[in-house]
């Protein structure tokens, strides 16, 4: 409906009135709000989303004050297409300086054996890097890895190292700087080429999110 020139109450009243004219005046307002009126937009622009038949949508499109009426679309999740969707295709021109970029990830750790973190084709770490990789895996394009736990208490399912406990840290790191991996998929669904935003960048991971810490935080909240 274009630029919003009404206050929220006036816009709400107008939206319901127009919708009521479209689907029938015998419809009670509370039924409109619960079923037909899906969402109202009253901040940066003026309009609403509603559940309508094709005939009702056509009737609404002809009413005064309506700029356009268009149907919603059903979209599918496409995790291997995110960077293409954002306008950064795999064919984008890349700088030779990319491997000097260091991305720090503070999360649940990392799984270094994943193909997305392969060290194939990488040279030595940038000369400016002074960090270390600790514990039970060898660093590759992951040039630094450490874990922190102030209380020293570990759940039996936790790794006492920067190794990832639940996959979240690995997912985050690969989204930022994962290598190009062909035929990636989830349970054979939506196979495609997975890659990070800056595939040749170096990763430094700090494991600070742990299972027992999550439990402790939850317990602290419940005691308040």
Is residue 200 domain-shared with residue 89, that is, in the same domain?
yes
Residue 69, in any domain of the structure: no
Residue 180, in any domain of the structure: yes
Return the bridge partners of 40, or none: 48
52: domain range? 8-61
Tens place of pLDDT for every residue, the chain, 224 residues? 877 667 777 877 888 888 888 887 555 566 665 678 888 887 777 888 888 889 999 999 999 888 899 898 765 555 677 788 788 888 878 777 888 899 999 999 999 989 889 888 888 888 889 888 886 667 768 999 999 877 677 788 788 889 998 888 998 999 899 888 888 877 776 677 888 888 889 999 999 887 544 443 333 333 32
Is residue 150 domain-shared with residue 192, that is, in the same domain?
yes
Q: Which pLDDT value is given to residue 220?
A: 33
Is residue 133 domain-shared with residue 209, that is, in the same domain?
yes
Q: Residue 191 CA to chain centroid, in angstroms?
A: 19
Is residue 100 domain-shared with residue 147, that is, in the same domain?
yes
Q: Which pLDDT value is given to residue 222?
A: 30
Residue 30, in any domain of the structure: yes
Is residue 48 domain-shared with residue 84, that is, in the same domain?
no
Domain count across the chain? 2
With vertex at residue 145, the alpha carbon angle to CA 88 and CA 148, rounded to the nearest 5 degrees, is 120
Is residue 161 domain-shared with residue 102, that is, in the same domain?
yes
């Amino acid at each position: 409906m274009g630029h919003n020139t009404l206050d929220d109450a006036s816009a709400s009243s107008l939206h319901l009135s127009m919708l009521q004219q479209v689907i029938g005046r015998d419809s009670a307002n509370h039924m409109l709000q619960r079923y037909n009126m899906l969402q109202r937009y009253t901040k940066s622009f003026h309009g609403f989303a509603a559940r309508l038949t094709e005939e009702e949508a056509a009737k609404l499109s002809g009413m005064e004050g309506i700029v356009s009426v268009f149907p919603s679309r059903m979209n599918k999740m496409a995790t291997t297409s995110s960077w293409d969707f954002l306008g950064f295709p795999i064919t984008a021109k890349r700088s030779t300086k990319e491997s000097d970029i260091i991305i720090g990830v503070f999360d649940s750790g990392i799984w270094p054996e994943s193909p997305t973190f392969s060290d194939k084709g990488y040279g030595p770490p940038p000369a400016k890097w002074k960090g270390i990789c600790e514990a039970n895996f060898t660093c590759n394009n992951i040039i630094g890895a450490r874990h922190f736990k102030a209380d020293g208490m570990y759940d039996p399912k936790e790794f006492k190292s920067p190794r990832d406990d639940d996959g979240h840290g690995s997912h985050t790191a690969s989204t930022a700087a994962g290598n190009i991996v062909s035929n990636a998929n989830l349970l054979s669904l939506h196979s495609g080429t997975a890659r990070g935003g800056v595939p040749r960048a170096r990763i430094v991971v700090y494991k600070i999110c742990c299972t027992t810490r999550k439990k402790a935080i939850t317990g602290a909240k419940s005691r308040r």
